[in-house]
Structure 1
Amino acid sequence: MEQNSKSAQGQDDRPIVLIGMMGVGKSTIGRRLAARLGLPFVDADEEIAHAAGMTIPEIFEHFGEQEFRNGERRVIARLIEGGRKVIATGGGAFMNDETRGLILDRAIAVWLDADIDVLVERVSRREGRPLLVGKDPRTVLTELSAVRNPVYALAPIRIISGTGPHEQAVEQIVETLGL
């Protein structure tokens, strides 16, 4: 557990937005965190798919990553404005300058971080990750981490999601936020 220079204290009216690499557990940890805090949970990817009327892989296939990111930014902006809740974002959401600025300005950003071995094991459990189609997950995740981790580090809170139960990460978030 690590807290960057910005304090998360006193922001308890803001949504809690989970960021990090695919496979880190944003949705699973987010659902458990929301239940623990008695808050609604929203998965931004599910909201994007619902708004588009197609799956994330279909959006990528038909419109490309850039159009997906544009829709993602609009959906996250709407979710952040909708009151206190826990929001799980897609792995690339925080990489968009506008989306990142919105999250940092109007929410409590929590970076869920994990070792590459943990990520590789977790992504192998689920299909439907467009950035991994036809590629070696370890190579892709290593390359993405090298680019994304310095940006994720802009979040005021960093929580390590290890091989233990997701409840450990939930407990670390609750402790760090003082809730």
Structure 2
Amino acid sequence: MANIVLIGMPGAGKTTIGRKLSKALGRPVLDADDKVVEQTGRTIKDLFQEGEDVFRQAETEAVKTLAALDGIIISCGGGVVKRPENIAYLQQNGKIFFLNRDLAAIAGSVDKVTRPLLNSAEDRLTQLYKERLPLYLKYADYTIPVDEDFDKTTKYIIELVRKAGL
């Protein structure tokens, strides 16, 4: 059974929708950032303090580990698309769903304390969105519009998963 891979900006709803999909489909949901912490024994913030490259390498190792599993839901960090090798791992046994949530809604929902790249507020969020949007669109098998009704979004993804035989 193929993996369901969720990508998108921080605050797009990957964690929440991942949990809802897990409950509805009876599949485990695993978070790539949690796997980074588990594998390194360090927080995301600590890794970023050594430099973004240090974190990105740890993220790649976590993605490689998760992508080798079967029939799971993988909730990825927002920057997973920055390394093509991450996408190659994820595509080996998964379909990628880009959760495309309005930037204004994201700005109102993100916790800037736990998200190192967003500490300099909305200007940085806009910059990240402009950098990442083309990558999200390039790598997505499915682009999912996300509004405030995460239940509706979850049901839509479930329909797509069932139609595709995932």
| Range into which the TM-score falls when normalised by the shorter chain | over 0.9
Specify the alignment match of 2:128 in structure 1: 144
Specify the alignment match of 2:2 in structure 1: 14
2:100 aligned to which of 99, 102, 113: 113
TM-score (norm 2): 0.92
TM-superposed CA distance for 1:167, in Å, is 1.1
SS at match of 1:70: helix
AA of the residue aligned to 2:103: I
1:131 partnered with 2:117: yes
Specify the alignment match of 1:4 in structure 2: none
Specify the alignment match of 1:160 in structure 2: 145
1:88 partnered with 2:72: no
- Deviations along 1:157-179, one digit per CA (max 9) or x if unpaired, are 01111122x11111110112226
What pairs with 1:15-94 in structure 2 (closer than 5 Å)?
15-61=3-49, 63-94=50-81
TM-score (norm 1): 0.86
Gaps of 5+ in 1: 1-12
AA of the residue aligned to 1:54: R
Specify the alignment match of 1:10 in structure 2: none
- Whether contact under 8 Å (2:137, 2:143) holds in the other structure is yes
- Deviations along 1:64-117, one digit per CA (max 9) or x if unpaired, are 111111111111111111111001000001221110122233311000011111
The number of aligned residues is 162
- Whether contact under 8 Å (2:67, 2:92) holds in the other structure is no
1:177 partnered with 2:161: yes
1-structure distance, mates of 2:112, 2:30: 19
Identity between Structure 1 and Structure 2 (%): 32
TM-superposed CA distance for 1:140, in Å, is 1.3
